[in-house]
Structure 1
Amino acid sequence: MGLGDIQYDDILAAAEEFRRLGRDNFLQTYGFGRARSYELVLDGMRYDSKAIAGVAHGHATGDFLTAGDFSGGAATVARRLRDLGFVVETGETPPNRATLLERLRKLKVSRGPGHPAPSRHQPLSLLWAISRAADERPRMTPWPRFREEVGPLLVEFGLPNAKATPEYPFWHLRGSGLWEVQGVPAELTDAMPKLSLLDAHRPRAGFKEEFADLLLDPVVRLDAIATLCETYLQDVDRQALFARTGLAGYTTAGGLANLPEDVNDDVGTDDPARATGPAPRRDTNRSVIVRDAALARKVKALEGDRCQVCDTTLRHLNRPYSQAAHIRGLGSPHHGPDELPNLLCLCANCHVLFDGLEIYVDPDGLVRGTRDGRASRPLRRAPAHPIDEAHLAYHRNLCHINDHKPPAG
């Protein structure tokens, strides 16, 4: 499914059907609610932009989309409509980053008689949903899949001896104002439906559109992850948690594309004896990020090939050697920009430490260690080398959520 399949005439066909059926019948027929933020304006009428896009996709491909089928939110739809030459206007003011983080801090989590600590069911479910946003998967998930994927997380990372009940966060997260459940008959929504009813109706749940839109921004997404971890999951092994929730990219500043080669390469031989001949090879197809080599050369020239952290100047093949390191990684899930203010000139050792979240630059410009008592030292900056403080803050946030170690035992 892609919004790029939708063309101008498909939008006109959907709008014509909207007018013929009337708004309420149109939305009910195709499984949409009223637009909260973006409306298509055409010939003096206003249309719910996402519903129009979903029906237009059906006219284009034969696949009619419902509200939960979109990987992007309403803002993504608005961009596509504008690209096609249509006018899209905002209605209600959408929530902002501060609203999202405030609601995450104030989840209505339960506390059982044997567990004075807040339940982790809702925070863990939200982390799992955020991982879906990072992967650009549909925001709404059917109950059977939610139970299958979230249930084991609650067993592994929930409070000790707490019963894993994925149906509770699936339903009760609605109280946060961040979450919605679709597909349960209205007469059954006054109280939590029984498991048999969830199994029978197979409803879907996920972040509301306006919050799903916010989570498409990598910076906001990292803030949301940090808020959940620091508020509810302080005693959880973050590296293990991120690996299990699909957020492994947040354990390195470089993202998944820059993990060490031996992490994902299992090629080898069962014979422990010494191998003979050249190392084996295999053919692969890879999608790689294209970096601007001129920018890398520029940052090295500006800093004289000296590491900005430790002042080391390495030599290789009788030449100065340094590496251009991105502060906010280019790969998923960070999606940092390939620009000079997002680059540092580092030696190979400090590059590994920086990408591995072992060192960071504090707000005062001092390089500090995240896990040891290493002496701080100022980050050297050439006068003509601009560095964006927002990228340094993003990297600090990554270090902060990864430096916590759960207590032994």
Structure 2
Amino acid sequence: MDWLERAAKLRQWTRSGTRAPHKPLLFLYALGRYQLDSDGELGYSAVEEDLKRLLTEYGPSNRSTPAYPFHHLVSDGVWEVRTRHGAGSPGTGVRELRETGAAGRLVPELRAALRREPSLLGRMAQVLLDLNFPPSLHGELCEAVGLELEPARTERLSPARRQRDRRMRELVLTAYEYRCAFCGYDGRIGAVPVGLEAAHVRWWAFDGPDEVDNGLCLCSLHHKLFDKGVLGIGDDHRVLVSQRFVGGSPVARDQVISLAGRPLIGPQAGASPIAPAHRYWHADQVFQGAPRPAAAV
């Protein structure tokens, strides 16, 4: 049985690039808990708050209850649910899952495969990360679900569907003249830029192309905040800052809140600006809540 393929082909509700990371998040959480206790069950009532937090932090704005993946992941052949009445999930209702003492865990066949081949866990986790989240979030997401991946498993191990264009970074950084499009940071050590990255506006995992019109040159801080939905891009190519972001320090105000309403820096003349379709996808699927009003000059 190809467990990597099962991880890659979780049945998720999709439409026009809509994100539905509910099952991948539960699966990653279950793998993390397996590392702690390979035979333990996850009682729904005990893990509901953890799952709710993961959906809030790493899911799109149109979130659903954690009961949804707890029930529906069963259909993918990697997860089982039992209640005090026996095998089988009582449904997607939070009340039913709580009142029946529902508990889930990885199916016996998968647990046996993980015992035979311990490296399988890291490979499955990387598949789930690669196909559902941008690389900038992988490390913190592993921490959030309690996963410890071996260094060798940080390589991209997902089944090859599309090949990444290795020129993307250089093309995007050149288009933006090696400056962060949000804050203007342009640090170098000698001739080598440091702390500058090529960010995908529409995530590569969701069919975002490796092209300049889907890229931004961002410093490491603003890349992370862009992928977390704290920052976005408005129709007028000005920076959006989420009202959900809270920061009282001078650094938070200067580096984040003060960006609200600023025009993007770049791209240079002749380079493709961000395509509207990619901006709309990020605004709908990643940006958190409503934008703050433009910062006072």
**Structure 2-normalised TM-score?**
0.48
Provide TM-score, normalisation by structure 1: 0.36
